[in-house]
Chain A
Amino acid sequence: MKDTDIKRLLYTHLLCIFSIILSICIPSFFLENFSILETHLTWLCICSVFVTAVNLVLYLIVKPNASSKRSSISYKVTRFLKCCIYFLMSCFFFHVIFVLYGAPLIELVLETFLFAVILSTFTTVPCLCLLGPNIKAWLRVFSRNGVTSIWENSLQITTISSFIGTWLGAFPIPLDWERPWQMAIERKKMCRSFCVPGMVLGTVTQ
């Protein structure tokens, strides 16, 4: 049981990373003058859409906690709507936090918001998929010694490493390298680059 779980975990993580890579490569075939650095806003959108889709599909197929007692359609719909609302709320929540951290209030509002969206796709979406819209379960997972399964453990590691990656990614901002991408991209890159090893680490340590 555990071995199969680990195998499935590994595959899901590999697919997630693959989807990020795909989101870099594929749009260049369809969109003109697409590059990560210059049209980073489009890339942000595409990337978040890709990752969300891959996550949803994966968790629907793998179903790590297939213990839904009721399966009426209305229950599923309300659950789905709840998830959407939670996702939006987390986006706004992250946006508020970025503004509190010093992002400008009015200018660059789109960049900040998209960054909030991508951070929530890296953190909130897996949580929603795995735990459902259940705040108490979330709090349990993210407090000490609250983890009960491998899936939750990997979730904890990836989410926390995303946050730490974002946090560390804000450090180079004062460096005056005079690059246009510093504000949004730098944070996000760091976020991703910390996310990915986090995932792998989560897989390996089990």
Chain B
Amino acid sequence: MLRGIPAEYGDQATSSSSSLCRALRHSQKARNYCSQGHNNHRKTPKALMTGSLPGFIDVVRNLNSPELLEDNVITQAKAAGKRIIFYGDETWVKLFPKHFVEYDGTTSFFVSDYTEVDDNVTRHLDKVLKRGDWDMLILHYLGLDHIGHVSGPSSPLIGHKLREMDSILMKIHTSLLSEERETLVPNLLVLCGDHGMSETGGHGASSMEELNTALILISSAFERKPGDIRRPKHVQQTDLAATLAIGLGLPIPGNSVGSLLFPTVEGRPVREQLRFLHLNAVQLSKLLQENVPSYEKEPGFEQFKMSERLHGNWIRLYLEENNSEVLFNLGAKVRRQYLDALRTLSLSLSRQVAQYDIYSMLVGTVVVLEVLSLLLLSIPEALSNKAELEVPLWSPVFSLLFYLTLLVLSALHVIVCTSAESSCYFCGLSWLTAGGVMVLVSALLCAVVSALAKTFGDGKFLSKNPAHPKPRWSELDVLILLGTMGHVLSLGASSFIEEEHQTWYFLINTLCLALCHEIYRNCLLRDDSEPQQCPHVEEEFIRTAAALQDRSTGCDTLEPHGVSRSLTSLDTLRGYEKWMVLASPWVILTCCRLLRSLNQTGVQWAHRPDLGHWLTSSDHKAELSVLTALSLIVIFALVQRKCSLTSKVALALGLLGVYCYRAAIGNVLFPWQRDSKDISKGVIEARFVHVFVLGILFTGTKDLLKSQVIATDVTIKTVGLWEIYSGLVLLAALLFRPHNLPVLVFSLLIQTIMTKFIWKPLRHDAAEITIMHYWFGQAFFYFQGNSNNIATVDISAGFVGLDTYIEVPAVFLTAFATFAGPVLWASHLVSFLSSETSSGSALSHACFCYALICSFPVSAYIILVTSLRYHLFIWSVFSPKLLYEGMHILITAAICVFFTAMDQTNTKS
């Protein structure tokens, strides 16, 4: 198996790269196909060997490959006593433990290595081919895939690699031919890829380039008349399992939905052909019976019954040794019937996968919507000066409405679950869990109703009392509201989801321009209007003084006093600082533009050359090393300001360790070692950094606890929060790929600039600052090179500092590396708010806003996806986004818990 082999392999008209394949195809011994796979991210050969379709959740399961228990060709072959030898990706060894009499697994996680992985396979080849004491030899070459990941499909390395593969194929083929001369049993050589390669060299999505891959079957048993040149046909990847099983004389794996590739058995006598087709059809119809309750009405099943009857007739004729022409015609007819039946059966089985569990989906949506409406209804309460968010969850439990809803819901549950035809996740839950969910649903409903009643009551009260002036919305608030709405609306279109990074870049650019407008208006107009507005100034001063007093007594109002509050603050800035304030939006905009060209992501423009690719190519290792070293130094310079001495030292050592780690795994060079080629996994270096990360986080937590117990000094808490933040920065520096370190640097830089020159002088309130943090966090998620496609998740981050796959740390590290942008911005938000604002309610405001602004798109998206579930791109575009959103909301929940904890300590102190 050749990972990542493009479909054109084998009929590239241009060149030398696959001359043997072409030669073989013309020499009548090969069958050439273009097999179509299914959307699946990581590299399991599962679909190939079981013949079943990968469900979407397999993406998650793929990260860890446990033993494959499903019926598959390898297990069947083992049971039949075949001797199997395997060399290649160790995923196979994990999937099929104890199946191989001899194996040598290569780890596939060092993507930058594309020679070693293949040499590890090839070095056994000569020996094994000479021995001939095996029945099945599986070779899995990873090099091509790695080249694709590292330098893209148009890399010159690809030609070399294909030529190398060609020579290996030639070696195997000639050796098999010479063996056949002695044993007279035909061999089968299968060359296939498990996936293709996208324009960027990745895979995992559903573009034609990624799904289509070559499949070539070579055997001396195939016969073709000279001059009969066939074009490669499109077949499904799942067909291979059935074909291999029949070819080896094994039972077809039970869950296989593939049909036999008929041309492979064309050379056999008609009786055997029909027998093979019958076997395949019986297996498929059994699978249909298991999955479809009304299987008898399926057209495929009817066709199968019909062809079975005809087959019976044919056998009767055959046994009577009837006239050969009638027999032949009937045989051809039966064969055609069988092939039709197989095709229909296979099709209706593949369609079976797309069935939705509406009931469970509805329950989930209802819970989400209720929580969202509760959040929305409590906006005025939560953002008031008291900042109290009390969800009256206990009082509704004793109301009549609660019991009524509970009763109705349980009745519904019983009715739905007893009458459900297909399997339903929610019905499959235990009664206790389901009951808990129903209690939750009805309690939330009651809470929503009571909140609604309360709001209306208050509304009546407020309308009678016109003394309350409506707070005026500043341009920034309008922009924030419009931006959020626009983003939510854009989630309805698949292209907008694919290119979501564009939306975010656009929004933060606009945000910067709006901030720029605000700053300039405040700075320039004040100079202008001062002489004319002399009488107003005093009044203004009084007002702002009052506002300041308000703030110091702990009332942070939502109402933005845009002009008044900034007049005084900008007044205090003089000379250099003022210029910095004026320049800061432009600096931020330039940073964003640079970051944008670092990683091209999305779908449409992903193939464009970007700085990231330029840096990672092996010719520019020196530049990458310089850049990495520079970024690490800048990171240190930016983070160390507010740390205590011990964590400063720890941070410096940790960043040094990051460089050593990158040098050890061969991403960057030390200036003194020119050409050392010993690439290790860098476990020791990475663990060295992990120790420092844990140390810094520990000191931070200790400070926080101290501030809670002693409750004398606010600075201890600030330092503690900043230390936690710097620990997270260090971890991100370790996990980010070296060309992404500038993202981290710019994120720190923008945070510093915003803090110093924008948020402090302009005195935005907590809600605005929170939303700006959220927007920047989202934008940095995409600046890192992520997209709404599973293929861009950097799984190698989960193996930093680990020898083998250990589930919990690997999942944690991968999640952190992926969501580093949002997490870092959120933790900066906590430390900024607790250090800058003296008001107590700022943190709780921020927490509420953060929760609201994260949950709003998610709930809208859930409704959208539910209504668009028959959309053409539901599996390729919408569902990965749903996974991302789910993960994002989990992380948001963790952040909110952290917020609340900080808030608690705050109120206590």
Chain A residues near B (Cβ < 8 Å) = 97, 99-102, 105, 135-136, 139-140, 143, 167, 170-171, 173-176
Q: Mark B200-241, 1 if CB is under 8 A from A, else 0.
A: 000000000000000000000000000000000000000000
- A contact residues around B513 at 8 Å (CB): 97
Given A100-B589, A171-B486, is A139 in contact with B525 using a C-beta cutoff of 8 Å?
Answer: yes
**B499 interfacial by beta-carbon distance below 8 Å:** yes
Residue tally, chain B, CB below 8 Å to A: 28
CB distance from A107 to the nearest CB of B (A): 10
Q: How distant is the Cα of A101 from the Cα of B592 in the complex, in angstroms?
A: 9
> Are A174's CB and B509's CB within 8 A?
no
> Are B604's CB and A176's CB within 8 A?
yes
Q: Mark B467-505, 1 if CB is under 8 A from A, else 0.
A: 000000000000000000010001001011011001101
Among residues of A, the one whose C-beta sits closest to the C-beta of B510 is A167
Among residues of A, the one whose C-beta sits closest to the C-beta of B517 is A142
- B contact residues around A140 at 8 Å (CB): 525, 528
> Are B502's CB and A174's CB within 8 A?
yes
Q: How distant is the Cα of A97 from the Cα of B604 in the complex, in angstroms?
A: 23
Cross-interface CB contact of A175 among B495, B505, B509, cutoff 8 Å: B495
**B109 interfacial by beta-carbon distance below 8 Å:** no
- A contact residues around B505 at 8 Å (CB): 101-102
Q: How distant is the Cα of A6 from the Cα of B130 in the complex, in angstroms?
A: 98
Given A174-B499, A175-B493, A176-B604, is A101 in contact with B509 using a C-beta cutoff of 8 Å?
Answer: yes
Cross-interface CB contact of B502 among A99, A139, A167, A173, cutoff 8 Å: A173
Given A174-B495, A174-B502, A175-B493, is A102 in contact with B596 using a C-beta cutoff of 8 Å?
Answer: yes
- B contact residues around A143 at 8 Å (CB): 521, 525
- B contact residues around A136 at 8 Å (CB): 524, 528
**B593 interfacial by beta-carbon distance below 8 Å:** yes
**B506 interfacial by beta-carbon distance below 8 Å:** yes
> Are A174's CB and B604's CB within 8 A?
yes
Most interface-central of A102, A174, A176 (chain B CB within 10 A):
A174
- B contact residues around A97 at 8 Å (CB): 513
- A contact residues around B593 at 8 Å (CB): 99-100, 102
Among residues of A, the one whose C-beta sits closest to the C-beta of B563 is A144
Among residues of A, the one whose C-beta sits closest to the C-beta of B597 is A105
> Are A139's CB and B524's CB within 8 A?
yes
CB distance from A90 to the nearest CB of B (A): 15
- A contact residues around B589 at 8 Å (CB): 100
Q: Mark B522-558, 1 if CB is under 8 A from A, else 0.
A: 0011001000000000000000000000000000000
> Are B528's CB and A100's CB within 8 A?
no
**B909 interfacial by beta-carbon distance below 8 Å:** no
Among residues of B, the one whose C-beta sits closest to the C-beta of A105 is B597
For chain B residues 73-111, which have a beta carbon within 8 Å of chain A? none
Q: How distant is the Cα of A167 from the Cα of B506 in the complex, in angstroms?
A: 9
CB distance from A194 to the nearest CB of B (A): 15
CB distance from B77 to the nearest CB of A (A): 45
Given A100-B592, A173-B502, is A139 in contact with B521 using a C-beta cutoff of 8 Å?
Answer: yes
CB distance from A4 to the nearest CB of B (A): 30
CB distance from B640 to the nearest CB of A (A): 30
Q: How distant is the Cα of A99 from the Cα of B493 in the complex, in angstroms?
A: 26
Count of A-B contacts judged by CB separation below 8 Å: 49
Among residues of A, the one whose C-beta sits closest to the C-beta of B505 is A102
Chain B residues near A (Cβ < 8 Å) = 486, 490, 493, 495-496, 498-499, 502-503, 505-506, 509-510, 513, 520-521, 524-525, 528, 589-590, 592-593, 596-597, 602-604
Q: How distant is the Cα of A95 from the Cα of B503 in the complex, in angstroms?
A: 20
Among residues of A, the one whose C-beta sits closest to the C-beta of B486 is A171
Can you list 24 A-B pairs with a CB-CB distance of less than 8 A? A100-B509, A100-B590, A100-B592, A100-B593, A101-B505, A102-B502, A102-B505, A102-B593, A102-B596, A105-B597, A135-B524, A136-B528, A139-B520, A139-B521, A139-B525, A167-B510, A171-B486, A174-B495, A174-B498, A174-B502, A174-B602, A175-B493, A176-B495, A176-B603
- B contact residues around A101 at 8 Å (CB): 505-506, 509
- A contact residues around B520 at 8 Å (CB): 139
Q: How distant is the Cα of A143 from the Cα of B562 in the complex, in angstroms?
A: 12
- A contact residues around B525 at 8 Å (CB): 139-140, 143
- A contact residues around B592 at 8 Å (CB): 100
- B contact residues around A174 at 8 Å (CB): 495-496, 498-499, 502-503, 602, 604
Q: How distant is the Cα of A136 from the Cα of B498 in the complex, in angstroms?
A: 44
Q: How distant is the Cα of A160 from the Cα of B320 in the complex, in angstroms?
A: 92
- A contact residues around B486 at 8 Å (CB): 171
Q: How distant is the Cα of A102 from the Cα of B597 in the complex, in angstroms?
A: 9
Q: How distant is the Cα of A152 from the Cα of B498 in the complex, in angstroms?
A: 43
Q: How distant is the Cα of A101 from the Cα of B512 in the complex, in angstroms?
A: 11
Q: How distant is the Cα of A16 from the Cα of B210 in the complex, in angstroms?
A: 52
Q: How distant is the Cα of A136 from the Cα of B503 in the complex, in angstroms?
A: 34
- A contact residues around B590 at 8 Å (CB): 100
- A contact residues around B521 at 8 Å (CB): 139, 143
Q: 9 more A-B contacts (CB under 8 A) besides A105-B597, A136-B528, A175-B496?
A: A100-B593, A101-B506, A102-B506, A139-B521, A139-B525, A140-B525, A171-B506, A174-B496, A176-B604
> Are B528's CB and A170's CB within 8 A?
no
Q: How distant is the Cα of A137 from the Cα of B509 in the complex, in angstroms?
A: 26
- A contact residues around B596 at 8 Å (CB): 102
Which 7 pairs across A and B sit closest by C-beta, in order of nearness?
A174-B499, A100-B589, A175-B495, A174-B502, A176-B495, A100-B593, A101-B509
Q: How distant is the Cα of A143 from the Cα of B525 in the complex, in angstroms?
A: 9
- B contact residues around A100 at 8 Å (CB): 509, 589-590, 592-593
Q: How distant is the Cα of A171 from the Cα of B590 in the complex, in angstroms?
A: 21
- A contact residues around B496 at 8 Å (CB): 174-175
Q: How distant is the Cα of A139 from the Cα of B518 in the complex, in angstroms?
A: 11
- A contact residues around B597 at 8 Å (CB): 105
CB distance from B563 to the nearest CB of A (A): 9
Among residues of A, the one whose C-beta sits closest to the C-beta of B494 is A176
Among residues of B, the one whose C-beta sits closest to the C-beta of A101 is B509
Among residues of A, the one whose C-beta sits closest to the C-beta of B496 is A174
- B contact residues around A175 at 8 Å (CB): 493, 495-496
> Are B604's CB and A139's CB within 8 A?
no
Among residues of A, the one whose C-beta sits closest to the C-beta of B521 is A143
CB distance from B293 to the nearest CB of A (A): 40
Q: How distant is the Cα of A139 from the Cα of B493 in the complex, in angstroms?
A: 39
Given A100-B589, A102-B596, A139-B525, is A170 in contact with B495 using a C-beta cutoff of 8 Å?
Answer: no
Among residues of A, the one whose C-beta sits closest to the C-beta of B512 is A100
Q: How distant is the Cα of A101 from the Cα of B495 in the complex, in angstroms?
A: 19
Among residues of B, the one whose C-beta sits closest to the C-beta of A173 is B502
> Are A170's CB and B506's CB within 8 A?
yes
Q: How distant is the Cα of A140 from the Cα of B529 in the complex, in angstroms?
A: 10
Q: How distant is the Cα of A87 from the Cα of B524 in the complex, in angstroms?
A: 21
Among residues of A, the one whose C-beta sits closest to the C-beta of B524 is A139
CB distance from A38 to the nearest CB of B (A): 22
Q: How distant is the Cα of A175 from the Cα of B597 in the complex, in angstroms?
A: 20
- A contact residues around B510 at 8 Å (CB): 167
- A contact residues around B602 at 8 Å (CB): 174
Q: How distant is the Cα of A168 from the Cα of B528 in the complex, in angstroms?
A: 32
Q: How distant is the Cα of A134 from the Cα of B652 in the complex, in angstroms?
A: 52
Q: How distant is the Cα of A176 from the Cα of B493 in the complex, in angstroms?
A: 11
Among residues of A, the one whose C-beta sits closest to the C-beta of B602 is A174
CB distance from A135 to the nearest CB of B (A): 8
Q: How distant is the Cα of A171 from the Cα of B610 in the complex, in angstroms?
A: 23
- B contact residues around A135 at 8 Å (CB): 524
CB distance from A3 to the nearest CB of B (A): 31
- A contact residues around B495 at 8 Å (CB): 174-176
Q: How distant is the Cα of A176 from the Cα of B207 in the complex, in angstroms?
A: 14
Q: How distant is the Cα of A173 from the Cα of B501 in the complex, in angstroms?
A: 12
> Are B506's CB and A139's CB within 8 A?
no
> Are A139's CB and B528's CB within 8 A?
yes
CB distance from A61 to the nearest CB of B (A): 31
CB distance from A74 to the nearest CB of B (A): 27
CB distance from A48 to the nearest CB of B (A): 23
Q: How distant is the Cα of A4 from the Cα of B592 in the complex, in angstroms?
A: 49
CB distance from B492 to the nearest CB of A (A): 12
Among residues of B, the one whose C-beta sits closest to the C-beta of A97 is B513
CB distance from A175 to the nearest CB of B (A): 5
Most interface-central of B509, B590, B596, B602 (chain A CB within 10 A):
B509
